[in-house]
Amino acid sequence: MNIDYNLYKIFLYLYEEKSISKTANRLYVSQPAISYSLKELESQLGYSLFYRNSKGIEPTLEANELYSYISTAFNILHDAEEHIVNLNNLNIGCIKIGTPSHIGVFYLSNYIADFRKIFPGVKFEIICKSTADMVEMLETRKLDLIVDTLPINSKKDVTKVTLSKLQNCFAYNKNVMKNVNINNVDDLKNYPLILPSATSSIRLKLDEYMESKNTNLFPILESWTTEIMIEMVRKGIGIGYFVKNVIDTQSDKDNFEVITFDDDLPAVDVCCVYIDDFLTSATRKFVEILKNNKIGD
């Protein structure tokens, strides 16, 4: 089947805009031309791609399946064009990094600042999602690399580089919660807890550690976003669980009381994950900087 590239491009825009008129405006062509191209594509494929409704158009099941392939293909083409442009220099480019907010804030920020001093034309896009979502985005080339804590599992052949080992801690606002008395991890059950999401790697390691101590924790709040957790702890809503560096980087860190135990809480390994064949010149240079400047080991 030899279908015109432009027909797929029109389909891609129609799927994203859910409107023939908006697609026409985006491509600077007439609405009849868009409608004709859609009919031509549907004719060549042998099935309908959209239903008309009062709001515009809605994709069929077949269109949903087709979009997953077409969007991936267009992302690949876009990356190929960018790679050629930046083959000999790094005057322009974009590095898309998937990372949890607590890693991005204190760990990646210094590397990004240093990189942009050398290559000011390269911009960064930071995406904070669940590890599973970020892996899917990496596999479909919507991310260039992931910087997260292990485990990070992918069906594709990915490269994993351990960058650092980070310590975790429980902490609370001592100016608001004034009668906290915790001598061991079992005492945590007596206080409101604010924990990372149950499926996050940092939480899974914590739960495993607590099970080894014959203790289960029942949080009043779970979040993927460290900033939300910090703010809740700052207001005295409960005791939070963080990478210790997060507490150390707060402007009001003296208000936070870090709880210590006889045994160290489980540390986490920060890992850089990427698909080597997918790396652009800018991303490859940034990965080199990450690998050559390990901290915390």
Q: How far apart are CA 169 and CA 148, in angstroms?
A: 18
- Considering the domain boundaries, does residue 126 fall inside one? yes
153-192 per-position pLDDT tens digit: 787 888 888 888 888 899 999 999 988 899 888 899 999 9
The answer to whether 278 touches 83, Cβ cutoff 8 Å, is no
Same domain for 96 and 154: yes
41-96 per-position pLDDT tens digit: 999 999 999 998 888 899 999 999 999 999 998 888 888 877 676 655 566 778 99
- Considering the domain boundaries, does residue 79 fall inside one? no
pLDDT of residue 267: 84
Range of the domain at 276: 86-162+271-292
Q: What is the CATH number of the domain that holds 288?
A: 3.40.190.10
The β-bridge partners of 95 are 124
- Structural domains of the chain, count: 3
- Considering the domain boundaries, does residue 227 fall inside one? yes
- Considering the domain boundaries, does residue 93 fall inside one? yes
Q: How far apart are CA 152 and CA 272, in angstroms?
A: 10
- Considering the domain boundaries, does residue 80 fall inside one? no
Q: What is the CATH number of the domain that holds 230?
A: 3.40.190.290
Output the DSSP codes for 23-70: HHHHHTS-HHHHHHHHHHHHHHHTS--EEEETTEEEE-HHHHHHHHHH
Same domain for 242 and 172: yes
pLDDT of residue 295: 41
Q: Which residue has the higher pLDDT, 294 or 122?
A: 122
Phi and psi (nearest 5°) for 275? Answer: -105, 110
Helix runs in 164-271, H state only: 201-212, 226-234, 244-248
- Average pLDDT of 189-217? 88
Same domain for 187 and 45: no
Same domain for 28 and 62: yes
Query: Model pTM?
Result: 0.57
Question: Two tokens at 128?
Answer: 């904070």
- Average pLDDT of 279-284? 85
